[in-house]
Amino acid sequence: MDFYSAYAQGFARVAACTLPVHLADPAANAAAVIEQARACHDDSVAVAVFPELCLTGYSVDDLFLQDALLASVEEALAEIVAASGDLMTLLVVGAPIVQGNRVYNCAVVVHRGQVLGVAPKAYLPNYREFYERRWFAPGDDRELEWISVAGQEARFGPDLVFRCLDVPGLDLHVEVCEDMWVPVPPSAEAALAGATVLANLSGSPITVARAEDRRLLVRSASSRCSAAYVYAAAGQGESTTDLSWDGQTMVYECGDLLGEGERFPDGPRRTVVDVDLDRVRQERLRQGTFDDNRRTHSERVQRFRTVEWELEPPTGDIGLLRKVDRFPFVPDDPARLELDCYEAYNIQVSGLEQRLAAIGTPKAVIGVSGGLDSTHALIVACKAMDRLGRPRSDVLAFTMPGFATGSTTKGYAIRLSQALGVTFEELDIRPAAEQMLKDMEHPYSLGEKVYDVTFENVQAGLRYDYLFRLANQRGGIVVGTGDLSELALGWCTYGVGDQMSHYAVNAGVPKTLVQHLIRWVISHGEFEQKANEVLAEILEQEITPELIPTEEGKKPQATEDSVGPYNLQDFTLALVVRHGFRPRKIAFLAWHAWKDAESGEWPPGYPEGARVAYDLPTVRRWLEVFVKRFFANQFKRSALPNGPKVSASGTMSPRGDWRMPSDAKGTAWLTEIERDVPAG
């Protein structure tokens, strides 16, 4: 398996191209197309899309009906076909083509010296500034036909899907400009017929705000169709007698912008990105209604014809031309992060608020350690009480020091509880823990420094045992503090432990998002200044369960030493649960996202000192740990308490996004890591 190859990892490189047009000069335009085609070949591009009518210009008007121009178009196409013979890239070129008694506005699909097919524009605008029916015939009814072009016979119609045999999942459909603007575009039917990459050759002139309208339509089409959408518009050189042109190029994938070119460029421009074909396939597998829609429209969908071709993609490392977020749960864009934090926080607050109101007027019982998770759960509980019009004293916060509780974290818990005005108590679990260990004849009770999982879980279990009984005693419910990342990795104590609660407010929040939620709470003044000061201090602490005493000269217990960096594990979590990606692809993406701390974007406010990099052996090591822990700990997730879903990437709840047998094995995943992910 070629681990470093983007094509072997389920990607296909596409280009949306715009270039200066020479009005009514097909020979010059063909030369410009060939030049860009060769550049695309050099960039290992699979599919290159050029603007509508780029061999003549969109704005030549009545010249479309001149024999001299139409004959020159045939010659120009023959030049492009010949030049494509030694090029890897499939070319999609706009040209007027005669078929029968009419001229059609067409996309001509060319690859390695062959015309694979010709797609006529289905819907012709004839309103406002557009007069296309004056020259062209609509192609919506031209199905199951053939055409002679550039000396070759090729399939003709809007019903063509170009299937690449040696790049699984690369199935191309082509439509032209206005086709995208109608209620049921040809591309929508093509997607139901299997097309994964939808291309649009556009001659759309620019007016104020039209670029945003195009983005809206392209994004919507890519999202609704679970597809990639490649858009290339005409630009420089078109006639400005009455209109202007901006040469907009963009590629969206499943609603996400992969790349957009400069508008109003001087000279040719290419927006080149790598489309994730696996993501498209997985989205369709997961959304059953996609295929249900195909059944509804089966009569139309079944009429699509498949044209097969072979790319012969390059091998080896050609890079990865797409942004890979280090933090799938944490946007890099400040405005998007702001909105995500607002929504996540209020989802949690309103979830707990509804649960409290549904029960009656129970108090919220919560164990606070001074760490990130319990801190966030505490402020969620306080805000829920505020919204219910109840006093914060109805939040009962308990700090329960064990054998390794530090004075710093305990101090944070005390200070934060006091600043928030909750009811606070300290309950020392050490005497009860010592008694339990003694009753069990654990080596620790005999004076030995044995700090095994039993030693840890005695403390974790006692804390929640006390919390549940305190809730019984004082008329409350236990608010869980464990987060989504811990549930995925099984980093929680089953039963009477932090795996269990009456309502788990953090169950849908990954570890890497928690710190940003707390920062958002601080910046938005949700609480008083004294509370905000403590919250800011808590953000600086290393994640630790504080269950094992620290010995002199040794590093204190750190969670990430056991389960791996949450940076990497949350990355894997999102790609497993939301996208179902195989381990080798996750490793490939993680390596690209994390191999260089200096490149790429970081979330707003992310500390400079925490910006780290991970090499491929490190990625592989912790991916293996994730798989082992994920499969071994499903039994904990099968018995989760209620808690709100927060992220679109999903939850671990068996009533929500994740259902899995507790006795499933991760052998297939581990075998692939061993076989396909380089160890060094």
Residues marked as catalytic: 52, 121, 177
Farthest CA pair distance, the chain: 102
By the 8 A CB rule, do 417 and 397 touch?
yes
Distances (CA, A) of 550 to 403, 547, 553, 555: 10, 9, 9, 7
Q: Is 372 annotated as a binding residue?
A: yes
DSSP sequence for 343-410: HHHHHHHHHHHHHHHHH-S-EEEEE--SSHHHHHHHHHHHHHHHHHT--GGGEEEEE---TT--HHHH
Q: Is 382 annotated as a binding residue?
A: no
Q: Is 492 annotated as a binding residue?
A: yes
C-alpha to C-alpha distance for 380 and 353, rounded to whole angstroms: 9
C-alpha to C-alpha distance for 228 and 566, rounded to whole angstroms: 30
Q: Is 93 annotated as a binding residue?
A: no
Q: Is the dihedral of CA 415, 416, 422, 426 positive or negative?
A: negative
315's tokens:
């091998």
Vertex 246: Cα angle to 244 and 252 (nearest 5): 145
Q: Is 210 annotated as a binding residue?
A: yes
Q: Is 651 annotated as a binding residue?
A: no
47-49 and 11-18: which strand pairing? parallel
- Cα 63 from chain centroid? 46
Q: Is 367 annotated as a binding residue?
A: yes
If we measure between CA atoms, which residue out of 564, 554, 387 comes closest to residue 486?
564
C-alpha to C-alpha distance for 158 and 151, rounded to whole angstroms: 21
C-alpha to C-alpha distance for 167 and 280, rounded to whole angstroms: 14
Q: Is 175 annotated as a binding residue?
A: no
Contacts of 274 (CB under 8 A, 6+ apart): 6, 11, 12, 13, 14, 258, 320, 321, 322
- Indicate left, alpha or beta for 320 from its phi (over 0: left) and psi (-120 to 50: alpha): beta
Q: Is 457 annotated as a binding residue?
A: yes
C-alpha to C-alpha distance for 235 and 249, rounded to whole angstroms: 10
Q: Is 254 annotated as a binding residue?
A: no
Q: Is 371 annotated as a binding residue?
A: yes
Q: Is 127 annotated as a binding residue?
A: yes
Distances (CA, A) of 573 to 281, 577, 650, 679: 19, 6, 10, 21
Element (H, E) at 435: helix 430-439
Using the structure block, give the residue that is written with the tokens 């030369």: 31
Q: Is 493 annotated as a binding residue?
A: yes
Q: Is 461 annotated as a binding residue?
A: no
Q: Is 494 annotated as a binding residue?
A: yes
Contacts of 277 (CB under 8 A, 6+ apart): 10, 11, 12, 167, 168, 169, 170, 196
Own/partner pairs for 299-302, CB < 8 Å, 24+ apart?
A: 300/189, 301/189, 301/192, 301/193, 302/193
Q: Is 636 annotated as a binding residue?
A: yes
- Binding site, annotated residues for deamido-NAD(+): 457, 486, 491-494, 636
- Binding site, annotated residues for ATP: 367-374, 481
- Binding site, annotated residues: 127, 204, 210, 367-374, 457, 481, 486, 491-494, 636
- Binding site, annotated residues for L-glutamine: 127, 204, 210
